[in-house]
Amino acid sequence: MDRNSPFAGNVALITGASRGIGLAIAERLGQLGARLAICARDSRELDSARSRLASAGFDVFAMPCDVSSAAQTAALAEKTAAHFGPIDFLINNAGTARFGPLHESTEQDWDAVLDTNLKGVFLMSRAVIPAMISRRRGHIVNISSLAGKNAFAGGGLYCASKWGLLGLTYCMAEDLRGYGIRVSAVCPGTVATGFGHPSGSPSKKDAAKMLQPADVAHAVEMTLSAAPHAFISEVLLRPTQKP
């Protein structure tokens, strides 16, 4: 852990951090000295992630949370601040996907994707922002996707959530920049996490050519490392070779 890092002592709240991209982000920020608050819906996976981070020497607080719940996101923000103090970084990473033609999708499919990928960011950010405004500092990073830029067959629900997330991110940035709060989006292409793929199994793509969770964590680090007088509004992250 680099105690001389600019992140030393900063409190980073990462949603969807029990595995994959979220866990990689937590590990990287922990290595840079941040104190970590992590959440996920699955309490068993979350406890495993907490143990992994703690065994690496990181200061970590873990709490189950469904980001689509206003009550749970408010409680997470409150208990994180009570445990560590004010939240400096919010990484909205929690996400889900349902793929298939729009006309074959159900209302439940729509709600599952939009409630997590878009409403969840709204609720979690709303729970954290007032304290950031009072301190006139903070940085929010929303993990979007290149699916927020590109359409593809079977991606209607997922693309809608990620296009909406980019719009929300840009508006949040304008709302908050006057308070010294920065808001950024990181948009990766396909990441080797087993998250799923519109054509079916992730094995249909060459995992060796995909982005890795650590690549997204590096982009988040870069974004958070910008000088206080500037911010990176968007990062588009692609693999060198198409998987």
Average pLDDT for 215-222: 98
Type of residue numbered 3: R
Given a contact cutoff of 8 angstroms between Cβ atoms, the answer to whether 148 and 97 are in contact is no
Q: What is the pLDDT of residues 152-185, one digit of tens each?
A: 999 999 999 999 999 999 999 999 999 999 999 9
- At 203 the pLDDT is 45
Q: Which residues pair with 31 in a beta bridge?
A: none
- At 5 the pLDDT is 79
Average pLDDT for 61-77: 98
- Environment class of residue 60 by beta-carbon count within 10 Å: exposed (0-12), middle (13-18) or buried (19+)? buried
Residue 116 and residue 113: Cα distance in Å, rounded?
Answer: 6
The first and second tokens of residue 66, run together, are 């469904």
Residue 80 and residue 38: Cα distance in Å, rounded?
Answer: 9
Q: What is the pLDDT of residues 73-112, one digit of tens each?
A: 999 999 999 999 999 999 999 999 999 999 999 999 999 9
- At 198 the pLDDT is 53
Residue 13 and residue 88: Cα distance in Å, rounded?
Answer: 8
Residue 186 and residue 233: Cα distance in Å, rounded?
Answer: 9
- At 185 the pLDDT is 98
* pLDDT band of 206, cuts 50, 70, 90: confident
Domain boundaries, the chain: 11-237
Q: Which of 186, 73, 67 is nearest to 130 (CA)?
A: 73
Using alpha carbons only, what angle is made at residue 180 by residues 179 and 182, rounded to the nearest 5 degrees? 115
DSSP letter for 210, please: S
- Check if 158 is active-site: yes
Catalytic residue among 49, 158, 168, 183: 158
Whether residue 201 is predicted with pLDDT greater than 50 in this model: the reply is no
Q: What is the pTM of this model?
A: 0.95
Average predicted confidence (pLDDT) for the chain: 94
Q: Identify the CATH homologous superfamily for domain 11-237.
A: NAD(P)-binding Rossmann-like Domain (3.40.50.720)
